[in-house]
Amino acid sequence: MNILKKNLFTLLLLSLWVSSSQAAMRELPAPNTVSPEMQKLTEAAPLPFWNLHPKDHAEWKSFVQSVAEATATELPGLREQMEVTVTPGSIAGVPVFTVTPRKIRPENSERILLHLHGGGYVLNPGETGTYEAILMAGMGGFKVLSVDYRMAPDFPYPAAMDDAVAVYRELLKTVPAEKIGVFGTSTGGGMTLALGLRAKAEGLPLPAALAPGTPWTDLTQTGDSYFVNEGVDNILVSYDGWLGEAAKVYANGHDMKDPMLSPIYGDVSGFPPTLLTTGTRDLFLSNTIRMHLKLRQAGIDADLIVFEGMSHAHYLMDPNAPETRFHFTELKKFFNQHLQ
């Protein structure tokens, strides 16, 4: 009888967990105001690992490896389609990848874009972090330097930012700040903004322009869209999945409202022109619009692109989607306007 009760209790808990996981996704009609390519992304099932809660170092490493293996299979075809080459190297002791388009526009010959990849400070190690850099180099015609920064759980805060700043500091020795732009998506967007804060704090010249895409500007669960878009965004889905776990494992006990972790709480006065991107279904919609307003209130030349119907970072997920082409064309125009 005790065994029966135990089994029934286990089944009840399992059913509640399944029900809560399913309930997290809210069924909405696919918007007919987006391209067919984007509509397919909007209609897709949520990422299967969104509600993962790694319990130890081994589970984190297994999670990271499985995502990396899936991404790695897409890179050869993407490099060929974008007509770029990717060369590994090292700057200031930090691994980097130089992404070079087959054709560099004459005005970009002395310019360079510094790329900080996304992945919650845990995902996309090594060359798997170059996906966005390949798109930018191919569609924008810029040479892109992608930083393979250290990540949690092996290297928690401030390792990622230390690596990004070390590469930027070294880059300044050969390239004037006026010819450097910085960009990245999600975590990479948050790091792009934090790099501006670190540069100010350390007396370094700021880059000529910043382009944070759907940036993780607040590692705490603060902001309307963390709740309004919960179960609507089919990429991140909810802060209460792996995302919140990643915030904790990277912060490693530090105050998550430290501006170097959550740049929304930093002093952005004196920042360079900034272009931010998000979508109406993005869990990080509030992260992005709060940052945009903060920059505008500080008198910074800041623009905002909000894509219809788009979940978190959908503009990276189909290189053939018109929205993807539009995003990187806008970034190209933005950097062409502000880099000398």
Residue whose C-alpha is closest to residue 75's, from 132, 115, 120: 132
Whether residue 209 is contained in a domain is answered as yes
Query: What pLDDT, in 10s, does the model give residues 145-195?
Result: 999 999 999 999 999 999 999 999 999 999 999 999 999 999 999 999 999
- Choice between 10 and 231, residue whose per-residue pLDDT is larger: 231
Asked which of 9-13, 36-40, 149-153 is least confident by mean pLDDT, the reply is 9-13
- Residues 73, 125 contacting (CB under 8 angstroms): no
pLDDT category at 298 given cuts 50, 70, 90 is very high
Please work out, in degrees rounded to the nearest 5, the angle formed at the alpha carbon of residue 305 by the alpha carbons of 304 and 306: 115
Instruction: List Cα–Cα distances, 3 to 6, 10, 15, 85, in angstroms.
Output: 5, 10, 18, 61
163 lies in some domain: yes
Q: Does pLDDT of 14 surpass 90?
A: no
> What is the pLDDT, as a whole number, of residue 105?
85
Locate 91 and state its tokens.
């700057």
How many domains does the chain divide into?
A: 1
pLDDT category at 11 given cuts 50, 70, 90 is very low
Is 290 a residue whose pLDDT tops 60? yes
Global confidence as pTM: 0.93
**Banded model confidence at residue 24, pLDDT cuts 50, 70, 90:** low
Band of pLDDT at residue 10, cut at 50, 70 and 90: very low
Dist. CA 15–CA 50, nearest whole Å: 18
Residue 16 pLDDT more than 70?
no
Q: Where are the beta strands (DSSP E) in 108-173?
A: 112-116, 144-147
Closest CA to 23 of 57, 40, 46: 46
pLDDT at 2: 37
3-state secondary structure of 101: strand
Could you tell me if residue 12 is inside a domain? no
Indicate the DSSP class of residue 123.
S
Residue type for position 216: W
Average pLDDT over residues 70-92: 98
Residue 224 lies in a domain: yes
Asked if residue 312 has pLDDT above 90, the reply is: yes
Q: What is the mean pLDDT of residues 69-94?
A: 98
Average pLDDT over every residue of 276-303: 98
Q: Could you say which DSSP state residue 174 is in?
A: T
Q: Would you say residue 98 lies in a domain?
A: yes
Helix (H) or strand (E) holding 89: strand 84-91
Distance CA 339, CA 330 (A): 14
The whole-number pLDDT of residue 136 equals: 98
Comparing CA positions, the residue from 103, 33, 82, 40 lying closest to residue 319 is: 82
Q: The domain spanning residue 54 has which CATH number?
A: 3.40.50.1820
pLDDT the model gives residue 18: 36
**Residue 67 in domain:** yes
Residue 6 in this model has a pLDDT that exceeds 70:
no
- Domain containing 307: what range? 50-338
Q: Answer whether residue 220 is part of any domain.
A: yes
Average pLDDT over residues 257-266: 98
Residue 5, in any domain of the structure: no
Alpha-helix residue ranges (DSSP H) falling in 174-257: 187-201, 225-228, 242-251
- The per-residue pLDDT for range 194-219, each reduced to its tens digit, is 999 999 999 999 999 999 999 999 99
